[in-house]
Amino acid sequence: MNKELRRVSVIVLAMFLALFGSTTVISAIEADNLAAQSNNRRVVLDSYSAQRGAILVEGTPIAYSEPSDDVYRFQRIYSEGEKYSGVTGYFTLNQGSTGLEGSLNQQLSGTANSQFFDQLNAIITGQEPTGASIATTLDAEAQQAAWDAMQGYEGAVVAIEPSTGRILALVSTPGFDPNPLASHITSEVIERYTALDEARPSPLQNRAYGGGQYSPGSTFKIIMTAAALENGYAPDSQFENPATLTLPGTNTQINNPVVGQCSGGGDTVSMATALNLSCNIPYAELAQDLGVDTVADMAEAFGFNSSTQIPMTSTPSRYPRDIDEAQLMLTAFGMSSVRVNALQNAMVVAAVANDGVLMQPTLVDSVIAADLSVLDEFQASELGRPITSATASTLNDMLVDGVSNGAAGGARIDGVAVGGKTGTGENGPGEPFNLWFSGFAPAEDPQVAVSVIVGDGGGRGQQLSGNALAAPIARQVMEAVLNQ
């Protein structure tokens, strides 16, 4: 009987070890993940019990909390709500939180692990606990320029400092006012939320880094050119120059933007000319030569197919690998199933502008505790090196040529060398275009890389091009950064 009893004892011990394990997983290992869940009511209530930290742009609060008379004790206020709505997101009682309010909730509410000693101190001294403030990397003038320029359009602007990854401007339009969503009356919150949720185009969709993605059009040619240069091609590599091209295995004919042969004639055309004039057929041929894996590898090196934390988690831009040759050739000029958001496109030009080094983009400059001690300070970190310095330099020159002498002239700034690429993404017959511009300035020492997407054809269907509408918006943002 004792032998059996010993075995049963082992089973009992195993049962208890399972419980020791499961409780450890919940309270220690998974605790932070669980606290980050949006339906965790305790976290919501906790975040109201302390004075929530502010979100700062150049030292000025754009979101802050003031004492209120009700049970929640503090009211969240957004001073320039709409303009910064793509950055702050909203902070609600019962509909969760988004943006910096959501992703940095623990720091703002003072419950992050880095604030452990402050919490302990608050408990011992009986003082009111206070959350940390977030100083953002945003440039107020660049943000203002981007916001002003995007008025009346659906879309997004993301501007990055190429050498560090600091996000200087992040705008998603239409924006929304987060103030009514911060109401302490839940029925008001729901009413306002429902109205925003049902509005079209949806203000709650973040087009800068979130799910609102667009076909990139010819801006994808930057990645194609990078892939070509990394694989033995040069700017003067020649491609056949027919007026139309029938995609293999289909009856689909593709054209250049200006219908006819690229550059007006000739049996062949160089890659530099094709990029400068944004010709589609040579790039389709290039894609066919490179193959899907080479193109996809380059796209992924720039950040496609994976999300990044800015600290909000971005929606991955998509470059599919399971496509046939005809689809591959369409992706060369941003058609078929490639989908991109403004953040991803800005990362591409930022890497080109930074000698081929892709920096981790971020909105957070520092996390500052209530006693003004710095809990966490921004440190530039490298995300990868998608292209060599030589490739970056060649590509830089080619993109500058596109603005100064080519199809991207709308972004020209007097006395400054600007590099960039336009894009006009098609969404199907009769559907409005996506108008893109991605670029950087000044070319010799880039201070800003910017990507602009205007959806819905800028309200004019298929009449406008990326160069006509998106490039001037990008120019205004770049000017705002450079004029300081």
Any idea which residues carry the catalytic annotation? 218
As a whole number of angstroms, the longest Cα–Cα distance in the chain is: 97
- Rounded least distance, CB 130 to other proteins, Å: 18
Letter string b/e over residues 97-134, b meaning 16 or more CB atoms within 10 A of that residue's CB:
bbbbbbbbbbbbbbbbeebeebeeebeeeeeebbbbbb
- Single-letter amino acid code for the residue at 340: V
Computed on alpha carbons and rounded to an integer, the radius of gyration of the chain in Å comes to 26
Closest by CA position to 363, among listed 90, 80, 106, 84: 84
Question: Nearer to other proteins by C-beta: 16 or 191?
Answer: 16
Using the minimum distance from each CB to other proteins, give the nearer residue, 105 or 273: 105
- 66 bridge partner residues: 75
Binding site for other proteins (CB under 8 A): 1-5, 7-9, 11-13, 15-16, 18-20, 22-28, 30-31, 34-35, 37, 39-43, 45-46
Count the neighbouring beta carbons within 10 Å of the beta carbon of residue 247.
18
DSSP category for residue 457: G
Q: How far is the CB of 21 from other proteins (least distance, A)?
A: 8
- Of 98, 235, 123, the residue nearest 175 (C-alpha): 98
**C-beta separation of 168 from 146 below 8 A:** no
Question: At its nearest, how many Å lie between other proteins and the CB of residue 385?
Answer: 37
Nearer to other proteins, 126 or 415 (CB): 126
Residue 37 or 305: the one with the smaller Cβ distance to other proteins is 37
Amino acid at 240: E
Residue closer to other proteins (CB basis): 31 or 374: 31
Kind plus residue range of the DSSP H or E element containing 298: helix 292-301
What CA–CA distance (Å, rounded) separates 140 from 357? Answer: 26
Query: Which residues does residue 451 pair with via DSSP β-bridges, in sequence order?
Result: 158, 438
Return the number of the residue (30 or 191) whose C-beta is nearest other proteins.
30
CB 192, CB 361: distance < 8 Å: no
Q: Which is nearer to other proteins, 113 or 253 (CB)?
A: 113
The total number of residues shown for the chain amounts to 484
| Contact assessment for residue 205 and residue 212, using Cβ atoms and an 8 Å cutoff | yes
Q: Give 91-110 as a DSSP string.
A: B-SSS-B-HHHHHTHHHHHT
Q: Which of 129, 92, 125, 128 is nearest to 109 (CA)?
A: 129
Structure tokens at 180: 């009514």
C-beta of 102 vs 410, nearer to other proteins? 102
**CB of 193 closer than 8 Å to CB of 95:** yes
What pairs with residue 156 in β-bridges? 172, 453
Residue 313 exposure: Cα atoms within 13 Å on the Cβ side: 6
Output 128 or 382, the one with its CB closest to other proteins.
128
Smallest separation (angstroms) from other proteins to the CB of 23: 5
- Residues sharing a CB contact under 8 Å with residue 74, sequence separation 6 or more, in sequence order: 48, 51, 52, 65, 66, 67, 68
Q: How far is the CB of 50 from other proteins (least distance, A)?
A: 14
Select from 405, 484, 392 the least CA-distant residue to 440: 392
* Closest distance of CB 393 from other proteins, Å: 49
